[in-house]
Amino acid sequence: MPTPQSHVPLWLLVVVQAAVSGVSLVVEIVAGRMLAPYVGMSLYTWTSIIAVVLAGFSVGHWWGGHIAERPAGKALVTTGWVLIAAAISTAGALLLLRLIGGPILSAVEHPVWSIVLLTSGVFFLPSLFAGVPAPVLAQIAVMQENVQTGRSLGAMFAAGAVGAIAGTLLAGFVFIPWLGTTLTLAIVTAIYLAAAALVLWLARPARPPAGALVASALALALGALSLTRPPACTTESQYFCIRVLDVSGEPDSQVNRLVLDHLSHGTSARDLPRTMFSDFTAMFDAIARGRLEPGPFSAFFIGGGTYSVPRAWADRNTGPITVAEIDPQVTATAVRDFWLEPDRMTILDEDARVALRKRPGDRYDVIVGDAFGDIAVPPHLITREFFQLVRSRLSPDGIFLMNVIDFPGRMAALSAIAATLQAVFESVEIWTEESLPAPGEQRVFVLVAANKLTPFSVVTAAAPDPTRFAAMAQSFTDRLIARSSPALLTDDYAPIDRLLGGRF
């Protein structure tokens, strides 16, 4: 019987290499969406994903190089088995994540190490198995009879790169927004199995490996089981895993909570549009109205979420409201599940910085920034350049409010943002709940930046229970900044992930 390498067309090897490379990159992109409900989406998340996937590829390439030294038939059989293992590990990724996600996050307090461990536990093996075929297929390509080895090797490298590009584009623009995570992984599993079947057929073994059929059936069963499990997201958008939770205390008074990735982004009651359910929204509402009423006043919101404050202000008829919410699905969710009436305000499906820059003639009495969420913070919305843009869009007596979440024992992020605001505004105040924080507690702060101080230093607002909030003394702010000596946050240097993530 002729050896396999004398009968394998180069184009067929190219197709297999492109397909395997493409779906391996699909898994890498999908990994970010899968991890988001557990650890959010931050610089640390993507750094861990890329590092773990590349580590898996590297080990897989090394292993594949050893396999490639075997006779072609045996090398292809082994590669076929490896591709089945890739299908099994990919099909079971969602189930494994649900199994180990909670225990790892409970056992490892440091956010960075928990992200690294969770990523490694779920995505190292699929990447390792995906890295094996490349050196085997390349070896067979250059060992063909009557071929130009340089061109064959170049074609295999090019196929891997083109496949990776295609997989990345398909994952981001087609699979995730249109099919969702679970169905995408099911398709990847099917492609791995098809590639395994083709590679085993190319090996032409004397007897078809019965075990391969059993292993393939296991991969399909895992994929089917993942498809039947309840989805982690109510909606998967291009930006977020969106979940809506019913937290109503009474059947006749509906209250819903919005979770974007792993964080709560607001709670609203159907029958109480003016009631706030969190400290920072209560401070936004009370401080802004305390400074600007009796009004009317114009408002611009950086981010929509549940649209709790815009909805309350629309109910009060405080004045024109503009909201820049980058994700249309978040707005659609607010309309469907949080009783938003979109015709009562202007809603821009844009990044807030882009929206402000594109409208140089617009002025607002208050700009509200809700950009913070644990260690997942858009760095371009906390820089000096952005704050200068915000100030240029405020009326002479306008105010800018933004929330910051930090640990009272550290407050490195709070200090850096306050110092950066002081470089742009005449007055910067730090507001928070008027109570001592518990040890290790994360505290919500609201920064108020304007040309003059707020005429009151304490306010009581419902959050939803009556809560007293107070402005920190200016001496406290000065000591905080002097103690940490923070660098100004700029478009060139805004290490907010490091400031929030703690020390290694």
Q: pLDDT (tens digit, 0 to 9) for every residue of the chain, 504 residues total?
A: 344 444 678 899 999 999 999 999 999 999 988 888 888 777 788 899 999 999 999 999 999 999 999 998 899 999 999 999 999 899 889 889 988 988 998 898 787 888 999 999 999 999 999 999 999 999 999 887 666 788 889 999 999 999 999 999 999 889 988 888 888 998 999 899 999 989 988 887 545 565 666 566 666 666 665 555 556 777 888 888 899 999 997 878 899 999 988 778 889 999 999 999 999 999 999 999 999 999 899 999 999 999 999 999 999 999 999 999 999 999 999 999 999 999 999 999 999 999 999 999 999 999 999 877 655 678 899 999 999 999 999 999 999 999 998 888 788 889 999 999 999 999 999 999 988 777 777 889 999 999 999 999 999 998 999 999 999 998 988 888 888 888 899 999 988 878 876 543
Do 433 and 373 share a structural domain?
yes
- Which of 333, 174, 166 lies closest to 238 in space, CA to CA? 174
Q: What is the pLDDT of residues 47-102, one digit of tens each?
A: 999 999 999 999 999 999 999 999 988 999 999 999 999 998 998 898 899 889 88
Q: Where are the beta strands (DSSP E) in 317-442?
A: 321-324, 346-348, 364-369, 394-406, 427-433
Residue 194 lies in a domain: yes
Give the CB-side neighbour count of residue 499, counting CA atoms within 13 A. 26
Alpha helices in 171-240 (DSSP H): 181-203, 210-228
Residue 463 lies in a domain: yes
Give the largest CA-CA distance in the chain. 92
Residue 437's domain is classified under what CATH number?
3.40.50.150
The DSSP secondary-structure symbol of 143 reads: T
Do 470 and 334 share a structural domain?
yes
CB 241 within 8 A of CB 232: yes
Residue 114 lies in a domain: yes
Beta bridge partners of 467: 461
Do 102 and 19 share a structural domain?
yes
Residue 241 lies in a domain: no
Residue 243 lies in a domain: no
For 43-48, which contacts have Cβ atoms below 8 Å and span 24 or more sequence positions?
Answer: 43/497, 44/111, 44/112, 44/115, 44/375, 44/497, 44/501, 45/115, 45/119, 45/376, 48/115, 48/116, 48/119, 48/120
Q: How far apart are CA 192 and CA 7, in angstroms?
A: 22
Q: What is the reported pTM?
A: 0.82
Task: Tell which of 232, 257, 291 closes a domain.
Answer: 232
Residue 137's domain is classified under what CATH number?
1.20.1250.20
Provide the pairing of β-strand 364-369 with 299-302: parallel
Number of domains in the chain: 2
- Residues of the domain holding 13: 4-232
Do 156 and 98 share a structural domain?
yes
Do 494 and 367 share a structural domain?
yes
Residue 250 lies in a domain: no
Q: Which residues have a Cβ under 8 Å from the Cβ of 1 and sit 6 or more positions away?
A: 204
Residue 434 lies in a domain: yes
pLDDT, residue 228, reads: 58
CB 393 within 8 A of CB 367: yes
Do 373 and 228 share a structural domain?
no
Angle, CA of 74, 78 and 79, to the nearest 5°: 115
